[in-house]
Structure 1
Amino acid sequence: MSNWQSICKETDINQDLPEAALFGTEQVAVVKAWNGKIYVVSNVDPRTQQGVMSRGIVGDRTVEGASRPTLASPIYKEVYDLENGQCYGSDAYTLPVYDSRVSDGVIEVDLDSKNPA
């Protein structure tokens, strides 16, 4: 089952500057990474449980010769893979990720797809 919700126009999101969105009690962070792809992850920092990931730092990490898009928490600076939510500094934390898509220029998120990797 899917629960696709519109977030905003793709042109509303600046590259490397995440934005927050709220759906009821569900907080998400929308990221347009350096590779041009849109990622939607939980806005709640897995370590502190604070809604701050939309204030994180977008970057990359080279894994097995490939550059992977990342988001660093603005509090303790844990770095998370935007594609699978893996924390590169600790196996104790995983950032939930959501399926997302761009349809007719609008970013959409499937709220039922939350996957803690």
Structure 2
Amino acid sequence: MSTTTTLRWHTVCPLHRLDPDRGVAALVDGVQVALFRTVDGLYAIDNRDPVGGAYVLSRGIVGSRAGVPTVASPLHKQVYDLRTGDCLDLPGISVPRHEVRCRDGMVEVRLRQEG
């Protein structure tokens, strides 16, 4: 017997509250999420740094590496691909990524489904 789970979109904030190339933390259905607005779009990843264990990725340095939008952890400076959550410095390390969109001027996040 299989169960289908409907994942819902959570309204977080108006788009204009997200400064370009800066992160912001938001509590979405009990999960700390780091939101980023770049020239390439909107991104949402867990706020927890998988290497250091602290909830700090929203305070990381936003940039790019070879055209890939990134955030560097403020703890140990590992760089994460905002599109996939993969660490570009340590193979096999990643941070969970969430769906994000702007609808009617409001930023919405849909948490990834736990496997």
Q: What corresponds to 2:50 in structure 1?
A: 46
> Alignment partner for residue 23 of structure 1, among 18, 28, 31?
28
Deviations 1:81-113 (A, max 9, x none): 0000111110142011101110000000002x2
- Alignment: residue pair count: 109
The list of structure 1 runs, each at least 4 consecutive aligned residues, that deviate by more than 2 angstroms after superposition, is none
TM-score by length of 1: 0.87
TM-score, normalising length from structure 2?
A: 0.89
Deviations 1:53-81 (A, max 9, x none): 0100000011xxxx110011000000000
Larger radius of gyration: 2
Unmatched tracts of structure 2, length 5 or more: 1-5
Code of the residue aligned with 2:100 in structure 1: it is S
Query: CA-atom RMSD, angstroms?
Result: 1.4
**Are residues 1:70 and 2:70 paired?**
yes
1:10-55 superposed Cα distances (whole Å, 9 cap, x missing partner): 00000111000013431001101132x0101100001111110010
- Tell me how far apart the structure 1 counterparts of residues 107 and 97 of structure 2 sit (CA, whole Å): 15
Matched residue, 1:107: 107
Q: Which structure has greater strand proportion?
A: 1
1:114–1:54 Cα change, 3 Å: farther
